[in-house]
Every structure is written in C-alpha cells, then in structure tokens.
Amino acid sequence: MGRNPDDLPGDLMNTSGIEIVDIYPKPAMPNIPDHVPENIGKFYWQAARNAQQGHYDAAGMMCRKVLESTTRDLGEKTGNLYQRIEALATSHVITDAMRNWAHAIRLDGNESAHEDEPMNEATVMDMLSFTELMLMYAYTLPGMLAARQAKKT
C-alpha cells in the first residue's frame, strides 16, 4: 500500500519518490468565447486558468492584457489604454457601460501589477466576467450574425 499524500510535507510536485499520474476530478478548462482571435483567446484562457488556480494577481494582469489587445484589434492602435477605450466609446464600438467596465479592468489590472497587496478573488472574478462579456460583444455576437447572414445568402 502506498503512502497517504496528506501525510507528506510540502508540495507533492516537488516530493521525491512520488509521481502524480492523474488528477480526479479533472479540473474544468476555461472556455474561450467563439470567434475570438487566437492570440486574444490565449490571453483570456491564461486569465481564466490563473483565476481557477487562485493566482489572482496573474489573472488580473492577463485580463488587462486581453483588454489591451482587444482595443487594438478593434481598430484603436494609438495612444494608451485609457485613450483607446475612450476612442472606442466615442465611436460607439463599445457602449458607455462597457467603457466604464473597461476602465475598471484597466485600473484593477494596474493594481494587480503594481500594488503590494494581492488581488482578491471577488475582484478578479468580476474582471474575468466582464472580460468574457467584452469578448462576446466584440467577437462572438458579430461572428454569430455573420454566420446567420451567410446561411441566408
């Protein structure tokens, strides 16, 4: 009979004589919204996965990176993130409510990168939720509409 993993000191991944061959139950993998560009989807996956694993500072920074890349992909390539968010709202690419949430992610993402206090789960889950909604609004819905139009023609 083997040793009980609960009786082992430290990190199982760094304990000699132990090999982890599988994990049960399997952790749910994050779902990337449909029609999202590959690079942005990878950034979102990293944000969601880090949040699942309790790495809230990393998740917060990745949410901000998703927002950075999305604003550029939506056509605002110049200026800082604040300016790009404002330009997207002014041109009605995003709604005023989305502008407010985008600024919250921008500020919370800065905090996750620069402050000494760690991010908390609730803040990161809010950031992740908005980030997903932003991707759905920017990519999933237009992709669904384009697919529907293609079926009609």
Domain holding 106: CATH number? 1.20.120.330
Provide the pLDDT for residue 5: 65
Whether 18 is in a domain gets the answer no
**DSSP letter string over 76-136?**
--SS-HHHHHHHHHHTTSS-HHHHHHHHHHHHHHHHHHH-SSPPPHHHHHHHHHHHHHHHI
> What is the average pLDDT score of the chain?
91
Whether 4 is in a domain gets the answer no
Whether 24 is in a domain gets the answer no
Whether 6 is in a domain gets the answer no
Whether 19 is in a domain gets the answer no
Number of domains comprising the chain: 1
pLDDT in tens, 80-99: 999 999 999 999 999 999 99
Provide the pLDDT for residue 111: 93
| pLDDT category of residue 13 using cuts at 50, 70 and 90 | low
Whether 12 is in a domain gets the answer no
Q: Which domain holds residue 136?
A: 30-152
- Average pLDDT value for residue range 96-118: 94
12 has a pLDDT exceeding 70: no
Cβ-contact 137, 82 below 8 angstroms: no
- Average pLDDT value for residue range 114-133: 95
Whether 21 is in a domain gets the answer no
Whether 148 is in a domain gets the answer yes
33 has a pLDDT exceeding 80: yes
